[in-house]
Amino acid sequence: MENDKISLVTEDGLRVDGRKLDELRPVKIEVGVLANADGSAFIQQGKSKLLVAVYGPRELHPRHLALPDKALIRCRYHMAPFSVEERKSPAPSRREIELSKIIREALEPAILVDRFPRTSIDIFIEVLEADGGTRCAAVTAASVALAHAGIPMRDLVAACAVGKVDGKIVVDLCDAEDKYGEVDMPVAYMPNKKVVTLLQMDGILTREEFDEAFKKAISACEKIYEFQLNALKKHLSIIEEVKEEESNG
């Protein structure tokens, strides 16, 4: 199909999945889903589903990689072979290696790495189902998993992609919009600190369009931040209930 034959936004301003231009896909975040990890989280954003496990801070092997003044952050982003329509090779692709680096760099400013010299903090991200926006969902879920692991952080990092589709600025791109839209712009943000930790752009925007897209991205990140906080609060309340029941029992 040619791009000009695909209509992604109706005359009424509705997108292919029925959302408004500035509407997020449904977001669901669960904390503590893996018993054997120090911290873990599951996120479902639209049809995209990701699982994140965090280990550390722990002794680093091989030891020659250790940094004398801070922890080494290692991140592995991997798409399961069944996560996309056409089965992908389980071997890490160049894109997965690149996204692993991007996600690590988006998260590192939030982590107080100087408190854990000569250690490693390892983040493992598994994409179970991909429908666009997986790098942003990965940052969002990994941030929650780091908090669940008890790793000191300056703030949570929330992420969301904005883009340009059929000439209109839209929030939280799905797979079709990512593939056939004109622009994709992922943004990661620490809402309390008001610090942007990731800003990429694939495509061309005018200055006015960029300003509009950036404002919508920050607003979307602030909404996702609320989902992160609520998920962590829910997990803590469940732990407190279990402890109370044990003490009463």
pLDDT at 176: 93
What is the number of H-type helices and E-type strands within the chain?
4, 9
Q: How do 158-165 and 48-59 pair as beta strands?
A: unpaired
pLDDT in tens, the chain (249 residues): 344 456 899 888 899 999 999 999 999 999 999 999 999 999 999 999 999 999 999 999 889 999 999 999 999 999 999 999 889 999 989 999 999 999 999 999 999 999 999 999 999 999 999 999 999 999 999 999 999 999 999 999 999 999 999 999 999 999 999 999 999 999 999 999 999 999 999 999 999 999 999 999 999 999 999 999 999 999 999 888 777 777 776
Q: At what angle do helices 94-107 and 134-148 cross, to 10 degrees?
A: 50
3-state SS, residue 164: strand
pLDDT at 29: 98
Structure tokens at 69: 């003044």
Q: What is the CA radius of gyration of the chain?
A: 19
Decide: pTM greater than 0.85.
Answer: yes
Structure tokens at 104: 């690590």
**For the domain 3-248, what is the CATH code?**
3.30.230.70
Structure tokens at 68: 């004398």
pLDDT at 201: 96
pLDDT at 249: 65
pLDDT at 186: 98
Respond yes or no on whether the N-terminal peptide bond of residue 57 is cis (omega within 30° of 0): yes
| Domain ranges (residues) in the chain | 3-248
Contact of 136 with 90, CB cutoff 8 Å = no
Task: Sheet containing 168-171: give its strands across.
Answer: 168-171, 158-165, 183-190, 195-199
